[in-house]
Amino acid sequence: MKNQELFDVVIIGGSYAGLSAALALGRAIRPVLVLDSGQPCNHQTPHSHNFLTQDGSTPAAITALAKAQVLAYPTVQYLSEAAVAVAGENDQFAVTTAAGSIVKARKLLFATGIRDLMPAIPGFAESWGISVIHCPYCHGYEYRGQPTGILLNGDPAVELGRLIRNWTDELTIFTNGKSSIQPAHRQQLAASHIAVEEAPVQQLAHRDGYLTHVVLADGRQRPLTALYARPPFEQHCALPRALGCVHTEAGYVEVDGFQKTSVAGIYAAGDATSMMRAVSWAVTAGTMAGVFLNKELLGIA
Protein backbone atom coordinates (compact mmCIF):
# COMPACT_ATOMS: atom_id res chain seq x y z
CA MET A 1 0.00 0.00 0.00
CA LYS A 2 1.28 3.44 -0.92
CA ASN A 3 1.00 6.38 1.41
CA GLN A 4 -1.76 8.80 0.32
CA GLU A 5 -3.25 6.08 -1.94
CA LEU A 6 -6.89 6.76 -2.85
CA PHE A 7 -9.52 4.11 -2.14
CA ASP A 8 -13.19 4.17 -2.96
CA VAL A 9 -13.89 2.97 0.60
CA VAL A 10 -11.76 2.64 3.70
CA ILE A 11 -13.35 0.19 6.12
CA ILE A 12 -12.30 0.76 9.72
CA GLY A 13 -12.77 -2.55 11.56
CA GLY A 14 -12.04 -5.94 10.05
CA SER A 15 -14.32 -8.37 11.82
CA TYR A 16 -17.61 -9.81 10.52
CA ALA A 17 -19.36 -6.59 9.45
CA GLY A 18 -16.24 -5.02 7.99
CA LEU A 19 -15.20 -8.12 6.05
CA SER A 20 -18.75 -8.66 4.75
CA ALA A 21 -18.79 -5.10 3.41
CA ALA A 22 -15.35 -5.63 1.87
CA LEU A 23 -16.61 -8.78 0.15
CA ALA A 24 -19.57 -6.97 -1.42
CA LEU A 25 -17.35 -4.09 -2.52
CA GLY A 26 -14.62 -6.39 -3.79
CA ARG A 27 -17.15 -8.16 -5.97
CA ALA A 28 -18.25 -4.74 -7.19
CA ILE A 29 -14.62 -4.16 -8.29
CA ARG A 30 -14.12 -1.32 -5.82
CA PRO A 31 -10.64 -0.39 -4.48
CA VAL A 32 -11.06 -1.01 -0.75
CA LEU A 33 -8.79 -0.92 2.27
CA VAL A 34 -9.68 -2.68 5.53
CA LEU A 35 -7.98 -1.35 8.66
CA ASP A 36 -8.15 -3.57 11.73
CA SER A 37 -6.68 -3.21 15.21
CA GLY A 38 -7.05 -6.92 16.00
CA GLN A 39 -9.12 -6.40 19.16
CA PRO A 40 -12.51 -8.13 18.62
CA CYS A 41 -14.88 -8.03 21.58
CA ASN A 42 -15.49 -11.79 21.33
CA HIS A 43 -11.82 -12.80 21.58
CA GLN A 44 -12.51 -14.97 24.67
CA THR A 45 -15.56 -16.73 23.23
CA PRO A 46 -14.69 -20.39 22.56
CA HIS A 47 -17.43 -21.09 19.99
CA SER A 48 -19.82 -19.15 17.79
CA HIS A 49 -23.36 -20.42 17.32
CA ASN A 50 -26.57 -19.76 15.44
CA PHE A 51 -24.83 -18.94 12.16
CA LEU A 52 -25.54 -21.37 9.32
CA THR A 53 -22.55 -23.41 8.07
CA GLN A 54 -20.39 -22.16 10.96
CA ASP A 55 -22.29 -23.32 14.03
CA GLY A 56 -19.73 -24.30 16.67
CA SER A 57 -16.72 -22.77 14.91
CA THR A 58 -14.41 -20.49 16.84
CA PRO A 59 -14.75 -16.76 16.13
CA ALA A 60 -11.10 -16.69 15.08
CA ALA A 61 -11.63 -19.51 12.56
CA ILE A 62 -14.64 -17.75 11.02
CA THR A 63 -12.67 -14.51 10.74
CA ALA A 64 -9.63 -16.24 9.22
CA LEU A 65 -11.73 -17.96 6.57
CA ALA A 66 -13.61 -14.76 5.81
CA LYS A 67 -10.38 -12.79 5.50
CA ALA A 68 -8.87 -15.35 3.12
CA GLN A 69 -11.96 -15.28 0.90
CA VAL A 70 -12.20 -11.48 0.89
CA LEU A 71 -8.52 -10.95 0.08
CA ALA A 72 -8.86 -13.22 -2.96
CA TYR A 73 -10.34 -10.15 -4.67
CA PRO A 74 -7.46 -8.06 -6.04
CA THR A 75 -9.13 -4.72 -5.32
CA VAL A 76 -9.29 -5.40 -1.57
CA GLN A 77 -6.33 -4.66 0.71
CA TYR A 78 -5.97 -5.32 4.43
CA LEU A 79 -3.77 -3.55 6.95
CA SER A 80 -3.39 -4.61 10.59
CA GLU A 81 -3.37 -1.07 11.95
CA ALA A 82 -5.88 1.04 13.85
CA ALA A 83 -7.22 4.28 12.44
CA VAL A 84 -6.33 7.10 14.81
CA ALA A 85 -7.56 10.19 12.94
CA VAL A 86 -9.84 11.16 10.07
CA ALA A 87 -9.91 14.51 8.31
CA GLY A 88 -11.82 15.87 5.34
CA GLU A 89 -15.34 15.34 4.10
CA ASN A 90 -17.43 13.28 1.70
CA ASP A 91 -15.35 12.12 -1.30
CA GLN A 92 -12.22 13.63 0.25
CA PHE A 93 -11.47 11.80 3.49
CA ALA A 94 -7.93 11.29 4.80
CA VAL A 95 -7.37 8.50 7.34
CA THR A 96 -4.25 8.36 9.51
CA THR A 97 -3.22 4.99 10.94
CA ALA A 98 -1.42 4.22 14.19
CA ALA A 99 1.80 3.70 12.23
CA GLY A 100 1.52 7.15 10.66
CA SER A 101 0.33 6.11 7.21
CA ILE A 102 -2.20 8.38 5.53
CA VAL A 103 -4.71 6.99 3.07
CA LYS A 104 -7.43 8.80 1.17
CA ALA A 105 -10.98 7.61 0.72
CA ARG A 106 -14.10 8.71 -1.06
CA LYS A 107 -16.26 6.97 1.56
CA LEU A 108 -15.81 5.51 5.04
CA LEU A 109 -17.36 2.57 6.82
CA PHE A 110 -16.97 2.17 10.58
CA ALA A 111 -17.32 -1.45 11.71
CA THR A 112 -15.42 -0.91 14.93
CA GLY A 113 -17.70 -2.59 17.48
CA ILE A 114 -18.01 -1.80 21.15
CA ARG A 115 -16.00 -2.35 24.32
CA ASP A 116 -17.80 -3.98 27.25
CA LEU A 117 -17.19 -2.35 30.63
CA MET A 118 -16.78 -5.11 33.18
CA PRO A 119 -18.07 -4.75 36.75
CA ALA A 120 -15.52 -5.02 39.54
CA ILE A 121 -16.52 -8.57 40.43
CA PRO A 122 -13.58 -11.01 40.54
CA GLY A 123 -14.07 -13.69 37.90
CA PHE A 124 -16.47 -11.69 35.74
CA ALA A 125 -14.01 -10.45 33.12
CA GLU A 126 -12.17 -13.77 33.03
CA SER A 127 -15.43 -15.61 32.29
CA TRP A 128 -17.00 -13.07 29.92
CA GLY A 129 -17.97 -14.68 26.62
CA ILE A 130 -17.30 -18.17 28.01
CA SER A 131 -19.79 -18.81 30.81
CA VAL A 132 -20.74 -15.23 31.63
CA ILE A 133 -22.83 -14.60 28.57
CA HIS A 134 -25.24 -12.13 26.99
CA CYS A 135 -27.41 -14.05 24.53
CA PRO A 136 -29.33 -17.32 24.96
CA TYR A 137 -29.60 -17.81 21.21
CA CYS A 138 -25.81 -17.68 20.93
CA HIS A 139 -24.93 -19.68 24.06
CA GLY A 140 -28.02 -20.93 25.88
CA TYR A 141 -28.17 -24.39 24.32
CA GLU A 142 -24.76 -25.31 25.74
CA TYR A 143 -26.00 -24.48 29.27
CA ARG A 144 -29.48 -25.97 28.96
CA GLY A 145 -30.84 -27.49 32.14
CA GLN A 146 -27.91 -26.27 34.25
CA PRO A 147 -27.79 -23.91 37.26
CA THR A 148 -28.03 -20.50 35.64
CA GLY A 149 -28.07 -16.95 36.92
CA ILE A 150 -29.03 -13.51 35.67
CA LEU A 151 -27.07 -10.53 36.99
CA LEU A 152 -29.66 -7.79 36.62
CA ASN A 153 -32.22 -5.82 38.62
CA GLY A 154 -35.63 -4.30 38.05
CA ASP A 155 -38.10 -4.99 35.26
CA PRO A 156 -35.38 -5.85 32.68
CA ALA A 157 -34.43 -8.79 34.92
CA VAL A 158 -38.03 -10.04 34.83
CA GLU A 159 -38.19 -9.89 31.05
CA LEU A 160 -34.86 -11.66 30.65
CA GLY A 161 -35.82 -14.22 33.29
CA ARG A 162 -38.96 -15.19 31.41
CA LEU A 163 -36.83 -15.68 28.29
CA ILE A 164 -34.02 -17.68 29.89
CA ARG A 165 -36.53 -19.92 31.68
CA ASN A 166 -36.98 -21.62 28.31
CA TRP A 167 -33.46 -23.07 28.57
CA THR A 168 -33.34 -24.10 32.23
CA ASP A 169 -35.56 -24.65 35.25
CA GLU A 170 -32.66 -23.88 37.63
CA LEU A 171 -32.70 -20.11 37.35
CA THR A 172 -31.84 -17.38 39.84
CA ILE A 173 -31.90 -13.62 39.37
CA PHE A 174 -29.03 -11.98 41.26
CA THR A 175 -30.02 -8.36 41.84
CA ASN A 176 -26.62 -7.62 43.46
CA GLY A 177 -28.27 -5.59 46.22
CA LYS A 178 -31.81 -4.68 47.19
CA SER A 179 -34.29 -5.75 44.55
CA SER A 180 -36.18 -3.12 42.60
CA ILE A 181 -38.47 -5.73 41.03
CA GLN A 182 -42.12 -4.83 41.49
CA PRO A 183 -44.10 -7.06 43.93
CA ALA A 184 -46.46 -8.25 41.19
CA HIS A 185 -43.50 -9.30 39.10
CA ARG A 186 -41.93 -11.07 42.07
CA GLN A 187 -45.08 -13.15 42.28
CA GLN A 188 -44.84 -13.98 38.56
CA LEU A 189 -41.23 -15.05 39.00
CA ALA A 190 -42.12 -17.23 41.97
CA ALA A 191 -44.91 -18.85 39.98
CA SER A 192 -42.33 -19.68 37.29
CA HIS A 193 -39.95 -21.05 39.94
CA ILE A 194 -37.40 -18.30 39.29
CA ALA A 195 -35.59 -17.36 42.50
CA VAL A 196 -34.46 -13.84 43.39
CA GLU A 197 -31.25 -13.37 45.38
CA GLU A 198 -30.57 -9.90 46.80
CA ALA A 199 -27.22 -10.50 48.54
CA PRO A 200 -24.40 -8.68 46.71
CA VAL A 201 -22.23 -10.83 44.48
CA GLN A 202 -18.70 -10.98 45.88
CA GLN A 203 -17.00 -13.34 43.44
CA LEU A 204 -17.60 -15.60 40.47
CA ALA A 205 -15.59 -18.77 41.02
CA HIS A 206 -14.45 -20.41 37.78
CA ARG A 207 -11.96 -22.72 36.12
CA ASP A 208 -10.43 -21.17 33.01
CA GLY A 209 -13.52 -19.02 32.52
CA TYR A 210 -16.05 -21.77 33.22
CA LEU A 211 -18.14 -20.96 36.29
CA THR A 212 -18.46 -23.36 39.20
CA HIS A 213 -20.30 -21.22 41.76
CA VAL A 214 -21.04 -17.71 42.90
CA VAL A 215 -19.83 -16.39 46.26
CA LEU A 216 -22.20 -13.93 47.94
CA ALA A 217 -21.24 -11.13 50.32
CA ASP A 218 -22.69 -12.99 53.29
CA GLY A 219 -20.39 -15.95 52.60
CA ARG A 220 -22.94 -18.25 51.00
CA GLN A 221 -22.02 -20.12 47.84
CA ARG A 222 -24.48 -21.00 45.10
CA PRO A 223 -23.71 -23.52 42.33
CA LEU A 224 -23.66 -21.79 38.96
CA THR A 225 -22.47 -22.80 35.50
CA ALA A 226 -23.79 -19.88 33.46
CA LEU A 227 -24.56 -16.24 34.20
CA TYR A 228 -26.34 -13.84 31.86
CA ALA A 229 -25.31 -10.21 32.18
CA ARG A 230 -25.72 -6.92 30.36
CA PRO A 231 -22.70 -4.82 31.28
CA PRO A 232 -22.53 -1.23 30.06
CA PHE A 233 -20.39 -0.49 27.02
CA GLU A 234 -18.58 2.24 25.19
CA GLN A 235 -17.75 2.66 21.53
CA HIS A 236 -14.50 0.93 20.66
CA CYS A 237 -13.65 3.83 18.35
CA ALA A 238 -14.26 7.49 19.15
CA LEU A 239 -13.80 8.70 15.57
CA PRO A 240 -17.48 8.54 14.48
CA ARG A 241 -18.51 10.85 17.32
CA ALA A 242 -15.55 13.16 16.64
CA LEU A 243 -16.67 13.37 13.01
CA GLY A 244 -20.17 14.41 14.08
CA CYS A 245 -22.02 11.13 13.62
CA VAL A 246 -25.20 11.15 15.71
CA HIS A 247 -25.39 8.48 18.41
CA THR A 248 -28.53 7.00 19.92
CA GLU A 249 -29.48 7.53 23.54
CA ALA A 250 -28.23 4.01 24.26
CA GLY A 251 -24.81 4.87 22.83
CA TYR A 252 -24.90 3.25 19.40
CA VAL A 253 -23.89 4.99 16.17
CA GLU A 254 -27.21 5.94 14.56
CA VAL A 255 -27.75 4.55 11.05
CA ASP A 256 -30.65 4.34 8.64
CA GLY A 257 -31.89 1.20 6.91
CA PHE A 258 -28.98 1.37 4.46
CA GLN A 259 -26.33 1.75 7.23
CA LYS A 260 -25.78 5.44 6.52
CA THR A 261 -24.82 7.66 9.44
CA SER A 262 -25.87 11.30 9.82
CA VAL A 263 -22.64 12.46 8.14
CA ALA A 264 -22.42 12.40 4.35
CA GLY A 265 -20.15 9.68 3.02
CA ILE A 266 -19.86 7.82 6.32
CA TYR A 267 -21.53 4.46 6.97
CA ALA A 268 -21.44 2.20 10.02
CA ALA A 269 -22.34 -1.44 10.65
CA GLY A 270 -22.09 -4.20 13.24
CA ASP A 271 -22.06 -4.06 17.03
CA ALA A 272 -21.29 -0.33 17.02
CA THR A 273 -24.77 0.29 15.65
CA SER A 274 -27.03 -2.36 17.17
CA MET A 275 -27.77 -4.34 20.31
CA MET A 276 -28.13 -7.46 18.13
CA ARG A 277 -24.70 -8.89 18.82
CA ALA A 278 -24.75 -11.98 16.63
CA VAL A 279 -22.43 -12.92 13.77
CA SER A 280 -25.36 -13.26 11.38
CA TRP A 281 -26.60 -9.74 12.17
CA ALA A 282 -23.13 -8.26 11.66
CA VAL A 283 -22.71 -10.07 8.35
CA THR A 284 -26.10 -8.84 7.13
CA ALA A 285 -25.39 -5.24 8.13
CA GLY A 286 -21.95 -5.34 6.52
CA THR A 287 -23.33 -6.67 3.25
CA MET A 288 -26.03 -3.99 3.30
CA ALA A 289 -23.43 -1.30 3.85
CA GLY A 290 -21.25 -2.60 1.02
CA VAL A 291 -24.14 -2.70 -1.43
CA PHE A 292 -25.29 0.83 -0.68
CA LEU A 293 -21.78 2.24 -0.58
CA ASN A 294 -21.35 0.93 -4.13
CA LYS A 295 -24.68 2.46 -5.18
CA GLU A 296 -23.66 5.79 -3.67
CA LEU A 297 -20.34 5.66 -5.52
CA LEU A 298 -22.31 5.06 -8.73
CA GLY A 299 -24.54 8.03 -7.97
CA ILE A 300 -27.73 5.96 -7.84
CA ALA A 301 -28.28 5.72 -4.06
Question: Per-residue confidence at 2, pLDDT binned at 50, 70, 90?
Answer: low
Give dist(CA 170, CA 145) in Å, integer. Answer: 7
Q: Decide if pLDDT at 17 tops 70.
A: yes
Task: For residue range 56-75, list pLDDT tens digits in order.
Answer: 899 899 999 999 999 999 99
What residue spans define the domains of the chain? Answer: 6-116+232-298, 124-229
Task: For residue range 24-39, list pLDDT tens digits in order.
Answer: 999 999 999 999 988 8
| 41 and 116 Cβ atoms separated by less than 8 Å | yes
Pick the CATH number of 124-229 from 3.90.1150.10, 3.10.20.30, 3.50.50.60, 3.40.640.10: 3.50.50.60
Q: Decide if pLDDT at 41 tops 80.
A: no
Sign of the dihedral through C-alpha 231, 237, 238, 244: negative
CA distances from residue 31 to 5, 20, 22, 28 in whole angstroms, order as listed: 10, 15, 9, 9
Amino acid 265: pLDDT = 98
Q: Hey, which residues does 92 pair with through a beta bridge? A: 89
Task: For residue range 167-178, list pLDDT tens digits in order.
Answer: 999 999 999 999
With a pLDDT cut of 90, the percent of the chain lying above it is 90
What mean pLDDT, rounded, does the chain reach?
Answer: 95
Residues in the chain, overall count: 301
Residue 46 or 283, more confident: 283
Give dist(CA 153, CA 299) in Å, integer. Answer: 49
- Domain 6-116+232-298, architecture per CATH: 3-Layer(bba) Sandwich (3.50)
- Closest of 136, 125, 214, 127 to residue 175, by C-alpha: 214
Task: For residue range 215-261, list pLDDT tens digits in order.
Answer: 999 999 999 999 999 999 999 999 999 999 999 999 999 999 999 99
Specify the range with the lowest mean pLDDT, choosing from 1-10, 204-213, 288-297: 1-10
- Equal fold, 6-116+232-298 vs 124-229: yes
Q: In terms of DSSP bridges, do strands 102-110 and 92-97 run parallel, antiparallel, or are they unpaired? A: antiparallel
**pTM score, whole prediction:** 0.94
Hey, is 84 helix, strand or coil? Answer: strand
- Closest of 158, 172, 154, 166 to residue 226, by C-alpha: 172
